[in-house]
Structure 1
Amino acid sequence: MTVASFNPSIASQASMASAAASALDRVAPRAVAAPVAEVDAAASSYWSISTTMRPGSLSAGSVQEANEIAAAVSDTAALGLEQATDIVARIQQKLVLAKAIGADRNAINADISQMKVDLGAVVEDSTFNGDNWLMVEAGGRPKVASLLASVTTGDDGGLSINMVDFDTAKSTLVSRQEARDGVLTRAYAGTSLGGVPYNYYLMDAQSREPVEAGAREIRLDSGTTSDEIDGMISTLNRVLIDMVSARAEVSKTRSQVTGGGVLLQGLQGMSELGVSRLVDTELNEQRVRLTAEKVQDQLQSSALNMANVSMTSWLKL
């Protein structure tokens, strides 16, 4: 005899699966259809927003990126100058110590030599995006760098890009082309407070066009006289003055590379938000509905399978 039984669980799951399938049938055609909007999609103004605002947003993003690069380049130069100035000041302190009676000038010179190595590393590392305002490579010369400083908007809504120029001759510390172009590689001639003439430079960068004949690198040995050390100290006084001036010039330029990022973020956000609301909202809504219905359908199918397995096990009993 055949026994017919009614399983409420299976019936419930079958009903839910049927409802999910019906929902999918309703949503899928709407999701692939043309977007539905309360305004006439045939109107040119509707689609002109999409074609004008998105490229505008991309342009704003490009401008913002250029502004951020300008800020990073100037920040890198400022940091490098700060670190280099600190090292030069410590070298000068070593020279002062070398004037003391009984000072081991060979040992002090070893310390100074290491500081020069560190100084060269700082200068070389002061590079961002391929730009180094502190060093000129062989074959190059100091140049004028143009930076995107900020962006302003006019009363008519138009954008105005503000540029600022910086002459890297004001910040070059090391030149491997012409030694005189770098603060650390050029020679400083003068007369010390004691009336002794001097002509020294701090670093030898193996420049293609070296310092003039007669100039000597700052270094110590057991035969270095006190008057010579005075000349070296006087040289570093002038080097430090030029480095402080370079830091001031870089800081002045950096102070002008501000304010554009906030404005550009606002412009980009406004354009993206407007386009999204006017063009993408309906399509996004349909995609969300379709995804939700698909997930629900999968859940109901899984539940139905579990109910079938349960029923099969019950029949075996």
Structure 2
Amino acid sequence: MSSDLLTPSLARAAPMASASASVLERTMRQSAVPDPETVADASAYWSIATTMRPGSLSMASVQEANDIAVAVTDTAALGLEQATDIVAQIQQKLIFAKAVGVDREGINADISQMKTDLGTAIDESSFNGDNWLKMEAGGRPKVASLIASVTVGEDRSLSINMVDFDTARSTLVSRQEARDGTLTRAYGGSTLAGVPYNYFLLDAGSQEPAEAGAREIRLDRGTTSDEIDGMISSLNRVLIDMVGASAAVNSTRNQVTGGGLGVAAIQGASELGVSRLVDSELSEQGVHLMAEKVQEQLQSSSLNIANVSMTAWLKL
């Protein structure tokens, strides 16, 4: 083999290797990402994502708080619906009790069972320790603040919008002050026949019971028709208050539920943005860098082949 044949090969290989090394050096200098093999150890590359992700974590906390708010209002709304149905059934029993010859003691047994079911429905209307329908001894109705929605400003700042609900509007039973509960407070007035009445539906053993002279709604053999009229009138007012409470809770529920969708959407967009930023930058720059490395290796291999062939020819 002639040296004239090898000399051009060496002449071509050396400049190619030099050019590849130069391009590789420039690519690594311009690239925003480190070598893919050591990217896990390069904290500088993740600086943008690191500053963005705390916002995503904050959104996750907001979403969790909003989910709890939705669950609390859902539970209260369902409990009020069940309680209202039971009170309406008790009123129907009282109307039936006005018929001549009926067994009022038997009807009272049915009413007693309904009261037990009513108490159970109220006790079970609790979520995360919050029960908007019941007040324990030592407690008073309070204003609950719930996360309703989140607004993102032009500077990417987050504004958390709250909605307040006064639990005095939904409390049905109070074991502290009977007057704080719709079912434990007494409703007084006069029937259409001019007979005075003052009745409450449930005796919850409140620390401060209903006013003197108020009586619990219950039947026995001696209960008069006028007294039953007073009980029915009391429950009319109870039902009006319960319907108003349901409207208030459902209004708050709608505000909180609508806000939850906004929180989820903002959080999803934020996570997607971070993911695309990281993935696209790593993919584009990393692939480009790897391509330059492969090209350098190929050029180096060509130069090595030429050197080996030259050495073999000199030994001949």
Task: Pick the TM interval, shorter chain.
Answer: 0.7 to 0.9
Which deviations, in whole Å up to 9, do the C-alpha atoms of 1:193-221 show, x marking residues without a partner? 11100111000000011111111100001
Which deviations, in whole Å up to 9, do the C-alpha atoms of 1:78-117 show, x marking residues without a partner? 1111110000000000000000000100000000000000
Letter in 1 for 2:249: V
Aligned mates of 1:122, 1:275 — CA distance in 2 = 46
Aligned mates of 1:265, 1:254 — CA distance in 2 = 17
Aligned mates of 2:114, 2:256 — CA distance in 1 = 33
Which deviations, in whole Å up to 9, do the C-alpha atoms of 1:113-169 show, x marking residues without a partner? 000000001111111111111000011000000000111222333221110111000
- Matching residue of 2:270: 271
Q: 1:222-301 to 2 correspondence within 5 Å?
A: 222-279=221-278, 282=282
- Matching residue of 1:162: 161
Aligned mates of 1:261, 1:169 — CA distance in 2 = 25
Aligned mates of 1:275, 1:162 — CA distance in 2 = 25
Aligned mates of 1:265, 1:202 — CA distance in 2 = 43
Letter in 2 for 1:178: E
Which deviations, in whole Å up to 9, do the C-alpha atoms of 1:253-308 show, x marking residues without a partner? 1121133333332332233333334446759xx9xxxxxxxxxxxxxxxxxxxxxx
How far apart are residue 241 of structure 1 and its match? 0.7
How far apart are residue 31 of structure 1 and its match? 7.0
Letter in 1 for 2:110: D
TM-score of the two chains, using structure 2 as the length reference: 0.74
Aligned mates of 2:106, 2:85 — CA distance in 1 = 21
- Matching residue of 1:111: 110
Q: Do the aligned residues in 2 keep the contact of 1:57 with 1:267 (CA within 8 Å)?
A: no
Unaligned runs of 5+ in 1: 1-29, 287-317
Q: Do the aligned residues in 2 keep the contact of 1:81 with 1:247 (CA within 8 Å)?
A: yes
Q: Tell me the SS of whatever aligns to 2:257.
A: coil
Q: Tell me the SS of whatever aligns to 2:46.
A: helix
Aligned mates of 1:263, 1:251 — CA distance in 2 = 19
Deviates more, 1:153-162 or 1:110-119: 153-162
Task: Evaluate the alpha carbon distance shift between residue 256 and residue 263 of structure 1 in structure 2; reply closer, same or farther with a 3 A threshold.
Answer: closer
Q: Do the aligned residues in 2 keep the contact of 1:64 with 1:260 (CA within 8 Å)?
A: no
Q: Tell me the SS of whatever aligns to 2:156.
A: coil
Deviates more, 1:50-59 or 1:93-102: 50-59
RMSD: 2.1
2:195 is the alignment partner of 1:190: no
Q: Tell me the SS of whatever aligns to 1:204.
A: coil
Residue from 35, 38, 48 that aligns with 1:33 = 38
Q: How many residues align?
A: 249
Q: Tell me the SS of whatever aligns to 1:198.
A: strand
- Matching residue of 1:133: 132
TM-score of the two chains, using structure 1 as the length reference: 0.74
Aligned mates of 1:243, 1:88 — CA distance in 2 = 9
Q: Tell me the SS of whatever aligns to 1:97.
A: helix
Q: Do the aligned residues in 2 keep the contact of 1:152 with 1:260 (CA within 8 Å)?
A: no
Q: What's the % identity of the aligned pairs?
A: 73
Letter in 2 for 1:223: G
Letter in 2 for 1:183: T
Which deviations, in whole Å up to 9, do the C-alpha atoms of 1:47-89 show, x marking residues without a partner? 3322112211111011011111111111111111111000000
Q: Do the aligned residues in 2 keep the contact of 1:136 with 1:176 (CA within 8 Å)?
A: yes
Letter in 1 for 2:53: R
Letter in 1 for 2:170: S
